Chains A and B, each alone.
Chain A
Amino acid sequence: MAQLILYGLIYGGIISLGAIGLTLIARILRFSHFAHGDMMALGAYLALLFRVTFGLPMWVSAVCSVALTAAAAVAIDRIFYKPLRRTSPAILLIASVGVALVLRHLIQLFWGAAPQVYQRGVERSLVFWGLRIRPVQVWILVMAVVIVVAVWLFLQKTKLGKAMRAMADNMDLAAVSGIDTERMVIWTWVLGAALAAAAGIMLGLDTQLRPAMGWLMLLPLFAAAILGGLGNPYGAIAGGMVIALAQELSTLVFNTAYKPAVSFVLMVLLLLLRPQGLFGGKA
């Protein structure tokens, strides 16, 4: 049980990072970005490119991948989403489903469908108070906490972060008070995609890389974002933790294969009972 909670916390950190970007995009760009999971996968595979193909150290690969994924997200926005933005959020949503499939299959085209890992070999688990944890998982936990704190500082203390929260809160008011909305859109993509790439790399470190890894993360990501109240980045973190713990603990009762369905069931229950999300936020 305690072991499952530990795994839940690790997985929760990964989901939270993805869900922060999803929730900010949902609020600031006003559409549900269905390619977010596949952006995670893109980040994971770009890190693989630097790590295995170019043989760079893991942290350098991760930084390069985060930067490239952010650039890719901005490029996708300029080419596909921006011209569609004046139509309706519905069209954007469908376009993002298209982008998701194209990204996932481009990954399959370049890297193949077989699962891959950053580093071969088995790691010895460390044991603390009877809890097993692999060194790489310690890194994931530490990095997740560091990144979450950095995001919090960014949103609370910097001018850019404040402007972003203002836009998420009230787009018109933000525009009237002189915030350059088009510039903020670009920064939202940079932040969202960078976090997605970080989450994807962590997921790849924890398990392995598969082209479908991002698509499979989509439901937990949305569940976390909705649980936290769509548009609320801090809610998304809490939502990510709740979803991850629920998924891990569900294995005590249900078949492990149904883990992904847990987030879906939780989400539907929440939509029935409290559609504005567990932690306030505006529906």
Chain B
Amino acid sequence: MDWNWSGIAGYGLFFLIYGGIYAISALGLNVQWGYTGLFNIGVGGFFLVGAYTSAIMTKGPDFSHLGGFGQPFLVGVLAGGVLAALLAFLIGIPTLRLRGDYLAIATIGIAETLRLVVTNEQWLTAGVWGIGGIPKPLLGTFGDAYNAFYAVLVLTAMVLVYFAIERGIRSPWGRVLKAIREDEAVAQAVGKDIFRFKLQALVLGAFFMGVAGALFAHFVGYISPEAFEPMNATFLVWVMLIVGGSGNSKGAMLGAFLVWVIWSGTEFVAAALPPTFGPRAHALRIVLIGLLLMIMLLVRPQGMLGEERQVSKLLRPAGGGRQAPADG
């Protein structure tokens, strides 16, 4: 059998780019859900805001939608993150003081409403036609090797996000987040303003989702409301986090790459089915991913990696072992 090596390398680069973009989203969700216990079922909404904001900020004049700002790539990506964070701030204020379910409902609501807005406000987003010709940074410099360059760019961003989150989580701030997740009343009793901490976690996670959305927009070059269906943009990220292990940043990244392989793998299976099966194959793919989630929740709810135990330095034995001594 003759292997198509360039095809395999091409798939490998797609794997790194999409896996990396989803990993950034999953890292954001891990801050919200994994560490703080906030249900955000509107990941797609924040992702959408990041994508559209960056596309509109960086494009030259285009009469089919708002535009003409012509800002550099980095400004666009950061603006995408900031706008997503702002949205999280606004949605957090009415919901974070209430029971967790309300945040879940509100985030689904905002994601669906945003999809209506980008579909219907043509002056802003060109509606169902979508925004094309989104600039690709340094396209001229890299030419044929462009995907390799973009993979490096996405992975760099992912590593930066990872270290930023790890640093925050290992600080006193991170310990408060986990305390809120475990027992709000206790965190409140020791004098923490839990509303503020929750809001910070929600906003920070949304910022990363916005950045991921922007990176997605600049890679594909064309975005339309269809790309932000709740399945692709929200549910997949949840499956990634739960499969990898929520409460563990490495797990979030592992889950992102692994589930992306499974997800894109099912596409090959769907392509092998007879064409009359066509549109139904897509439905079958989603059913399979849904079953993967259910089985994972039932069989191994902590995910593949599970949460890392963090033990105080003072309790750690001198040898540097991971376990705390039995007699303190």
List chain A positions with a Cβ less than 8 A from chain B: 26, 31-32, 34, 80, 83-84, 87, 89-91, 93-95, 97-99, 101-102, 105-106, 108-109, 112-113, 211, 215, 218-219, 222, 226, 255, 257-258, 260-261, 264-265, 267-268, 271-272, 275, 283
Contact = CB atoms under 8 A, between A and B. Distances in A.
Given A97-B235, A112-B280, A271-B102, A264 B113 contact: yes
Nearest to A218: B108
Interface centre among A89, A99, A260, A264 (most CB of B within 10 A): A264
A87 B301 contact: yes
B297 A261 contact: no
A90 B106 contact: no
B284 A105 contact: yes
A101 B286 contact: yes
Interface stretch (B147-155, B249-257, B260-268, B288-296): B288-296
A210 to B, nearest CB: 13
A222 B284 contact: no
A99 B291 CA distance: 8
B99 A260 contact: no
Contacts of B37: 90
Contacts of A95: 293-294, 297
A268 B297 contact: no
A105 B287 contact: yes
Given A102-B290, A283-B98, A90 B39 contact: yes
B109 interface: yes
A268 B235 CA distance: 23
Contacts of B95: 268, 271
25 contacts: A34-B104, A83-B298, A84-B298, A95-B297, A98-B294, A98-B297, A99-B294, A101-B289, A106-B283, A108-B283, A109-B280, A112-B279, A112-B280, A113-B279, A215-B230, A219-B105, A219-B108, A226-B102, A257-B119, A258-B116, A260-B113, A261-B116, A264-B106, A268-B94, A271-B98
A218 B166 CA distance: 36
Contact of B106 (A84, A260, A268): A268
Contact of A94 (B97, B110, B120, B238): B238
Contacts of B110: 264
Nearest to B102: A271
A267 B109 contact: yes
Tier of interface size on chain B: 35 or more
B240 to A, nearest CB: 13
Contacts of A84: 297-298, 301
B147 to A, nearest CB: 30
Contacts of B291: 102
Interface in B79-126: 91, 93-95, 97-102, 104-106, 108-110, 112-113, 116, 119-120
A93 B293 CA distance: 13
Contacts of A272: 93-94
Given A109-B284, A267-B106, A260 B116 contact: yes
A32 B116 contact: no
Contacts of B259: none
A38 to B, nearest CB: 11
B283 A271 contact: no
B231 interface: yes
Given A93-B101, A268-B109, A271-B98, 7 more contacts: A95-B293, A211-B283, A222-B105, A260-B112, A260-B116, A267-B105, A271-B106
Contacts of A80: 294, 298
Contacts of A283: 98-99
Given A94-B297, A97-B41, A97-B235, A264 B112 contact: yes
Contacts of A109: 280, 283-284, 287
Contacts of B279: 108, 112-113
B294 A255 contact: no
Contacts of B106: 264, 267-268, 271
A272 B98 CA distance: 10
B242 interface: yes
B94 A226 contact: no
B230 to A, nearest CB: 8
A114 to B, nearest CB: 9
